[in-house]
Amino acid sequence: MRKFDTKVQYLKYKVLREVAKHSWNDTLIENLWNIPKTISPGKEPTMRCCVYKERAILGERVKLAMGGDKENPNVIEVIDIACDECPAAGYEVTDSCRGCLAHRCEDVCKRGAISFDHNHVAHIDKTKCVECGQCAKVCPFAAIVNRKRPCQNACKVKAISINDNNAAAIDNNKCIQCGACVYQCPFGAISDKSYILNVIDILKKSQNNEKYKVYAVVAPSISSQFTYAKLGQVISGLKELGFYTVVEAALGADMVAMEESKELSEKEFLTSSCCPAFVQYIKSSFPTLLPNVSHNLSPMAMLAKYIKETSENAKVVFIGPCTAKKAEAQLDSVKPYVDAVLTFEELQALFDSKDIDITTLEEDVLDNASYFGRIFARSGGLSDAVKQALDEQKIDFTVKPAVCDGIEACKVALLKKSKNVLDANFIEGMACVGGCIGGAGCLTHGEKNKAQVDDYGREAFEKTISDAVSIVK
């Protein structure tokens, strides 16, 4: 068994593996109803109240593995029947309430939502409470707590609410598709759609890359994943799956750094465009700042565009840690270049669907980018690369970055910019804490990942951005 952070991830992987296995063998349609029974056999439940509910939820997971609801443009979906175990969210009075005389909670509540029983213990009327949180702030015993659901706590853009059926509901107008809720939901009731069937179809129809060549573009954060094997073995595994070759998205990052540094020096203020969730956040919450977003494509799209322009009839599959990349690939500006997106979770499922044990493979080489392109994978790396690109091009401009680690930090920087009080001329926006290494589609998340990315960067053959991009000129 491969190492995942949680059993929820492992369950998701098992569904993806079974769907992929049948897709390779052209037996998916006739086995759709058998997959839930394969994963949850017998009469005894292992995850839910009964085996029938267990299988019903697994059936919904199978649908998501096959692309999910085609009518829903969001790549993140809620499995309604799986979302029923969390208690109702909101402010509650705990056993820590001492029945004090001060009644500060009552006095501060402008809605009259707080009353007291015969033991002087406080109670909150949920029909009156507007969840302002003032009562919790003034309680001297910290006896009032906000029991938000994990998905709501994870969603820093407040796109998740609880509907009348006590299930999570996603506001597509607010959602940035970062996948934070996917990773944090302890029941796996929220998940990202998978396009693993699209990738299998692309590979099969290539006829061993004779009809067209299929390129795998891998994110630099791959260096912190698949820790049970060597990176070179992962690259060999991708070729075993049927990919013609594997190219580093970090090369696209080098290309972006060159172009973005020029744009920054010309406009004198810029926000990055590499993280699609960050860009979507600007669109939904700070639309007046859209003119300040870099006009460059992301590293994924930039490199895919180059591949399509230089290789006839090529197909490009991006593989990385990001659920928002699945949404980015559907944009009109990106769709011509990127044919499908996989996460690292899905790649693991693909390997095992074909019984490819990458630990047994010889190591292949992946060396297309510079140190600076590779460190795009962690927070601060993009800013470092832009500084380096300015120096290498001898552009007389001093970049003063606001490195935003996570969407909350992005919000602060964007608010300051909107009020013209931001002491920076470049906003590096990363929706996930830690940068791409914190993406929802990672196999594992941890502090060590940053060091692994830096080590991977230092192993680069090309020592400058200029050396790396010279390959594509």
Residues 429 and 308 in one domain: yes
- pLDDT value, residue 359: 95
The phi-psi region of residue 158 (left if phi > 0; otherwise alpha if psi is between -120 and 50; otherwise beta) is left
Q: How far is the C-alpha of 473 from the C-alpha of 328, rounded, in Å?
A: 26
Judge whether 388 lies within some domain. Answer: yes
- pLDDT value, residue 70: 92
Residues 112 and 230 in one domain: no
Judge whether 154 lies within some domain. Answer: no
Residues 322 and 360 in one domain: yes
- pLDDT value, residue 252: 95
- pLDDT value, residue 371: 92
Residues 398 and 266 in one domain: yes
Confidence of residue 472 (pLDDT cuts 50, 70, 90): confident
Judge whether 339 lies within some domain. Answer: yes
Residues 41 and 98 in one domain: no
What are 74-133's pLDDT values in tens digits?
A: 999 999 999 977 876 789 999 999 999 999 999 999 999 999 999 999 999 988 998 899
The single-letter DSSP state of residue 6 is: -
Judge whether 86 lies within some domain. Answer: no
Residues 49 and 96 in one domain: no
Mean residue pLDDT across the chain: 93
DSSP assignment of 167-222: -EEE-TTT-----HHHHH-TT--EEE---HHHHHHHHHHTTTTTSS-EEEEE-GGG
Q: How far is the C-alpha of 256 from the C-alpha of 260, rounded, in Å?
A: 6
- Whether 147 shows a pLDDT value over 90: the answer reads no
Q: How far is the C-alpha of 360 from the C-alpha of 213, rounded, in Å?
A: 25
Residues 134 and 215 in one domain: no
Judge whether 60 lies within some domain. Answer: yes
Residues 62 and 100 in one domain: no
Residues 443 and 342 in one domain: yes
- Whether 1 shows a pLDDT value over 80: the answer reads no
What are 308-348's pLDDT values in tens digits?
A: 999 989 999 999 999 999 999 999 999 999 999 999 999 99
What are 122-135's pLDDT values in tens digits?
A: 999 988 998 899 99
Domain end among 130, 146, 162: 146
Higher pLDDT, 247 or 1: 247
- Whether 299 shows a pLDDT value over 60: the answer reads yes
Mean pLDDT of 405-423: 96
Domain count, the chain: 3
Domain with 101 in it: what CATH number? 3.30.70.20
Domain end among 110, 128, 146: 146
254: closest CA among 424, 463, 427, 438? 463
What lies within 8 Å, CB to CB, of 18 at 6+ separation is: 35, 38, 39, 62, 353
Residues 62 and 96 in one domain: no
Of 27-36, 39-48, 400-409, 447-456, which gets the smallest average pLDDT? Answer: 447-456
Contact 46, 40 (CB under 8 A): yes
Give the tokens for residue 414. Answer: 């964007």
- Whether 415 shows a pLDDT value over 50: the answer reads yes
Judge whether 158 lies within some domain. Answer: no
- Whether 2 shows a pLDDT value over 60: the answer reads no
Residues 361 and 468 in one domain: yes
Give the domain extent around 119. 91-146
Question: What element of type H or E holds 315?
Answer: strand 315-320
Mean pLDDT of 32-51: 90
Judge whether 21 lies within some domain. Answer: yes
- pLDDT value, residue 195: 97
Judge whether 161 lies within some domain. Answer: no
Mean pLDDT of 29-46: 91
Domain end among 66, 83, 117: 66
Question: What element of type H or E holds 437?
Answer: none
Give the tokens for residue 458. Answer: 């230092």
- Whether 425 shows a pLDDT value over 70: the answer reads yes
Residues 254 and 293 in one domain: yes
- pLDDT value, residue 69: 94
- Whether 217 shows a pLDDT value over 90: the answer reads yes
Confidence of residue 16 (pLDDT cuts 50, 70, 90): very high
DSSP assignment of 320-365: ES-SHHHHHTTSTTTTTT--EEEEHHHHHHHHHHTT--GGGSPPP-
